[in-house]
Structure 1
């Protein structure tokens, strides 16, 4: 799975993603497991990402900032 860290359309064609990463308009983040990444990945695809233990539930329970579906941010309630 790839994610583009940018603002704009949620879905891009491979050609659009390549062009935008090449032109510095987006960052391609490859979040697949390491063996899959090693088997082949897009040039300059970032792979140094971590998995937060407990996911967003643990993040919120720790009182860390969360942006909700209503556009609010701040600590968990």
Structure 2
């Protein structure tokens, strides 16, 4: 029944919902990148050795895939297993 609501219905490929989601995600990503680069956020993160890294969803996904492969290789080489 909820799927009948326009906001929850599966968008048609290339339809207005898909375009709206694309632009909403792009705007959200852009604004989060601006916030991450702000002096206020840097002042909070840098004392702990952290640094903000703005990335597109595709870049973030690629980075996560790369990190997972790296840690998997390390775990296999060192024979680390979950208990």
Give 1 or 2: higher strand fraction: 1
TM-score calculated relative to the size of structure 1:
0.27
Structure with max Cα Rg: 2
Greater RCO structure (CA 8 Å; 6+ sep): 1
